[in-house]
Structure 1
Amino acid sequence: MQKITILGATGSIGESTLSVIEHNPEQFSVYALAAASNVDKMYQLCVKWQPEYAAMADVSAALLLEKKLNDSNVTTRVVAGLEGLCEVSSADAVDMVMAAIVGSPGLLPTMAAVKAGKRILLANKEALVMSGQFFIDAAKHYGAQILPVDSEHNAIFQCLSQSVQTDLGYCDLDANGVHSILLTGSGGPFRYSDIASLSDVTPEMAIAHPNWSMGPKISVDSATMMNKGLEFIEAKWLFNAKQEQLKVLIHPQSVIHSMVQYNDGSVIAQMGEPDMRTPIALSMSYPNRIPSGVKPINFTQLNELTFLAPDMARYPCLQLAIDACYTGQHATTAINAANEVSVEAFLNRQLKFTDIALINEAVMSKVCGLSTLDTQSLESLLELDKIARQYARELSIERS
Structure 2
Amino acid sequence: MENMRDEFPPLKNDLLLRVLRGEEVERPPCWLMRQAGRYLPEYHEAKGGRDFFETCRDAEIASEITIQPIKHFQGLIDAAIIFSDILVIPQAMGMKVEMIEGKGPSFPHPLREVSDVIEVLDYKVDVLKELDWAFKSINLTRWKLNGEVPLFGFCGGPWTLLVYMTEGGGSRIFRYAKQWINEHPDLCKRLLQRITDVAVEFLSQQVVAGAQVLQVFESWGGELSSLDFDEFSLPYLKQIVSKVPRRLQELGITEKIPMIVFAKNSWYALDKLCDSGFDAVSLDWTWDPKEAVSINKGRVTLQGNLDPGVIYGSKEVITKKTEEMIKRFGGGKKNYIVNFGHGTSPFMDPEQIRFFLEECHRIGSKK
- Provide the TM-score with structure 1 as the length reference: 0.28
- Provide the TM-score with structure 2 as the length reference: 0.30
More strand by share: 1
For the pair shown, the structure with the greater C-alpha radius of gyration is: 1
